[in-house]
Structure 1
Amino acid sequence: MERSSSGLSSPEAELGHRVEDIWESLQEPLLSPSEKLNSCFQNIPVSSFPPAPSSQVIEINSDSSLAEAVQILSSHKILSAPVRNVDAPEDASWIDRYIGIVEFAGIAVWILHQSEVAALGMMAGSAGMGLAVGGLVGTVGAAALGTPASAITGTALPAAAGAGASAAVGPGHSGPEAAASMGGNFFEALTSSDFYKNTKVLDISGSFRWAPFLALQKSDSFLTMLLLLSKYRMKSLPVVDLGEVKIDNIITQSAVVHMLAECVGLPWFENWGTKSLSELGLPIMKPSQLVKVNAEEPVLQAFKLMREKGVGGLPVVEDDGRKAIGNISIRDVQFLLTTPDIHKDYRSITAKTFLTAIRSYLEGHDDTSSPMLLGTITCQKHETIKDVILRLDSKKIHRVYVVDEEGNLEGVITLRDIISKLVHEPPGYFGDFFDGVVPLPPNSRV
């Protein structure tokens, strides 16, 4: 095990040693390696998990604008943050202190809605149609189309809102495709509008899956945590104690995979980690089930597919769709909102031009740490799950694509997939708590 210069191992490695101690104490011969891992994690409380790297949990106030929320998430390089209810008293319990967790996924859904409403206005011939969310009225549609705000009619908005999100703008044109055809004008108008600046995080609370969120108690077990992060599709889990007013820790899928990477070399990990991907049944999906976007499709189509299919990222493909030229993840929606330089000169923002523009922007700003500059990270089925864990952890990415000898796509392995192969749910473990919750509603989150 690697040791730091101080001679001490990392908190994650120390945790791995604790798992090892429990592993070695389980002498029951009838226990399979899988059952032994479940028993190990069942016997370790969540309070043992190392705290988040930052000294405090990043919170976003409920009265913050979407623009402010995006800036906070982007600057801290996080995918989500708890939303603090500014109307709650300082001594309120955590369940009253927070209203939910805002994610880039929810913001992406909001953007898609705006593009669809603007497109509905085009379809109705009402180019200056305003947009409304939570009682706020803006003129993004008008600005995107170069129409004066005075041209907004009072009847187009209700009619378009009633038409729903599935309406089309001419044959074969969905809302996102119509918005993309506006080029950078749509995003420039959206992000510079008072509508975007004034829309509050509270106004998109419909994208929050739980109210306020599904939280772990410090006394809960690692097994509970791992099942929630895998089978039950949580991306992050706040840790609280009854009676406390603030979140004590936030455990993410990335943090768990980092912990596993720190456990390389320990017998319990090697027993599991040296298995090949194919031995563990990875990738889970068949090649035909892989969600992907063509390089020449509008970039908003990528985010639309993520919303519809419930995935956090997808490959960008060319020609016959067998080889990937890049990856777009849900976090990349931030580039459409925070860096107008990447899209203002494009008449049409395709997935390919989006990748090219972001890479050029990052290189020009000497930001070499972004996963967008890594290209497409791949692996093959004969590699071990340890290999993939180390790759994901070192690159700070959330998915790796499985390819054959010719580089053709065969599937994808995500952080969730890896965690799901570490533990399994004992019969009746959660009782009927999740009845009707899994699978997720199609538009609830990405």
Structure 2
Amino acid sequence: MELLETLKASSPVFPNDLSRIIFVKKEDSIEKGFKVLIDNNILAAPVYDEKEKRYVSFFSMVDLIYEILDIVERESLPKGDISSVMTMLNDKNLFCKQRITDIANISKREPFIIVNAEKRLDEVARLMSKNKIHRVAVLDSRGELCNVISLSRIIECASQLFGIDNQLTKIGEKTISELNLGRNEVITISSDKRALDAFKTIAELGISGIGVLDSGGHLCGVISDHDLNVIKSHCQYLSLLYLPICEYLDAMKKLTNSPKHVITCTYNETFKEVTQRIAENKIHRIFIVNEENKLKGVISLLDILEQIVWAQKLHEN
């Protein structure tokens, strides 16, 4: 993508939503770190080691899922807002781990990669595609954190450039089928299982979301790590984990402003249409269905990025 070749990793095109660089400290409590993610509506933040004076990893929602699952295997979660729940769990000594350093990147989901502020964004995109990572930390010449480039923000930017960027416009005209996207195995779960079981699958497989199928095999919902953001304002969330997924999805629709239906596409739609739909709905994957709403495939943000990077390589050759 031509735009990425003209911008550096320090570019303000890719800040977080508040245009502030958010991070947590290695010795912070899990509760404090989680509150940082929730208050800033982000899925992960760099972890700073004050003793070594460097950034060492990312702390993410998936890390929290691991910790919650560890607890619910042993004890039923109490009701209440996140602060009171954390307090009660601490009082009962249910937390095996206390600090961010104890659980940061516990899922080993992806490597922690740092890039220099002067690195071109097209090079960063290739690095992310090659290592299959969702974010990189950007440091300036003093070693200070100056940016965090997330995969979702790159895709959001790309979605605005169809018709402007020549490389992107060409690939945008091709269909999902022509690009052979969405052919990998799709991870799903039945709607009669518990929401807790869905999060266990997410944690065990190191994925960000899972499709939900009804008794007829039709796609009826999605459960993702982003659901945990609901904890911020809805105190009953933790108890929702014990509900059947069908009831959990109904509750989530009432509690959030998320789409009331699953965002899908077909193999006949263009890359441009699918990329823009992902960006507009701020989702991290889109499921491919047939005319009967039967699930056929899934396209991730990394799949979208790979196509953008591939278009760049073809242009260079």
Identify the TM-score tier after normalising by the shorter chain. 0.7 to 0.9
- Provide the C-alpha distance between the structure 2 equivalents of 1:382 and 1:50, rounded to a whole number of angstroms: 31
Match of residue 181, structure 2, among 282, 298, 301: 282
1:323 is aligned with what amino acid?
H
Aligned to 1:401: 287
Gaps of 5+ in 1: 1-15, 21-40, 89-95, 119-140, 145-181, 363-367, 427-446
Per-residue Cα deviation, 1:52-93 (whole angstroms, up to 9, x for no partner): 0433201112232222222221121111001222445xxxxx
Matches within 5 A, 1:74-93: 74-87=38-51
Match of residue 255, structure 2, among 329, 340, 361: 361
- Provide the C-alpha distance between the structure 2 equivalents of 1:378 and 1:100, rounded to a whole number of angstroms: 33
Aligned to 1:46: 9
Match of residue 413, structure 1, among 284, 291, 299: 299
- Residue 59 (structure 1) aligned with residue 16 (structure 2): no
Change (3 A) 1:234 1:49: farther
Match of residue 159, structure 2, among 261, 271, 275: 261
Q: Which has the larger radius of gyration?
A: 1
Aligned to 2:98: 199
Matches within 5 A, 1:125-204: 141=75, 144=76, 192-194=88-90, 195=93, 199-204=98-103
- Contact 2:31-2:86 at 8 Å conserved across structures: no
Change (3 A) 1:399 1:80: same
- Residue 324 (structure 1) aligned with residue 219 (structure 2): yes
Q: Cα RMSD between the aligned structures? A: 3.1
Aligned to 1:352: 246
Change (3 A) 1:183 1:43: same
Give the Å deviation of 1:337.
Answer: 7.8
Aligned to 1:104: 61
- Provide the C-alpha distance between the structure 1 equivalents of 2:8 and 2:238, rounded to a whole number of angstroms: 47
For residue 207 of structure 1, give the secondary structure of its aligned residue in structure 2.
coil
- Provide the C-alpha distance between the structure 2 equivalents of 1:304 and 1:297, rounded to a whole number of angstroms: 11
1:326 is aligned with what amino acid?
G
- Provide the C-alpha distance between the structure 1 equivalents of 2:86 and 2:47, rounded to a whole number of angstroms: 23
State the identity %: 24
- Provide the C-alpha distance between the structure 1 equivalents of 2:180 and 2:41, rounded to a whole number of angstroms: 32
Matches within 5 A, 1:230-269: 230-242=129-141, 244-266=142-164, 267-269=166-168
2:207 is aligned with what amino acid?
V
1:408 is aligned with what amino acid?
K
- Residue 309 (structure 1) aligned with residue 205 (structure 2): yes
TM-score by length of 1: 0.61
- Provide the C-alpha distance between the structure 2 equivalents of 1:85 and 1:407, rounded to a whole number of angstroms: 48
For residue 421 of structure 1, give the secondary structure of its aligned residue in structure 2.
helix
- Contact 1:100-1:211 at 8 Å conserved across structures: no
Give the Å deviation of 1:398.
Answer: 0.9
Give the Å deviation of 1:189.
Answer: 5.8
Per-residue Cα deviation, 1:169-202 (whole angstroms, up to 9, x for no partner): xxxxxxxxxxxxx7969x9866632245982212
For residue 245 of structure 1, give the secondary structure of its aligned residue in structure 2.
coil
TM-score by length of 2: 0.84
Aligned to 2:128: 229
- Contact 2:196-2:242 at 8 Å conserved across structures: no
For residue 215 of structure 2, give the secondary structure of its aligned residue in structure 1.
coil
Q: Name the one with the larger strand percent.
A: 2
Per-residue Cα deviation, 1:287-315 (whole angstroms, up to 9, x for no partner): xx210111111212111211232321111
2:99 is aligned with what amino acid?
K
Give the Å deviation of 1:210.
Answer: 9.7
Give the Å deviation of 1:211.
Answer: 11
Give the Å deviation of 1:334.
Answer: 4.0
Give the Å deviation of 1:252.
Answer: 0.7
- Residue 218 (structure 1) aligned with residue 117 (structure 2): yes
2:61 is aligned with what amino acid?
F
Change (3 A) 1:218 1:189: closer
1:398 is aligned with what amino acid?
H
State the aligned residue count.
305
Change (3 A) 1:239 1:206: closer
2:40 is aligned with what amino acid?
H
- Provide the C-alpha distance between the structure 2 equivalents of 1:101 and 1:257, rounded to a whole number of angstroms: 21
Gaps of 5+ in 2: none
- Provide the C-alpha distance between the structure 2 equivalents of 1:197 and 1:56, rounded to a whole number of angstroms: 32
- Provide the C-alpha distance between the structure 2 equivalents of 1:420 and 1:51, rounded to a whole number of angstroms: 18
For residue 144 of structure 2, give the secondary structure of its aligned residue in structure 1.
coil
- Provide the C-alpha distance between the structure 2 equivalents of 1:102 and 1:64, rounded to a whole number of angstroms: 11
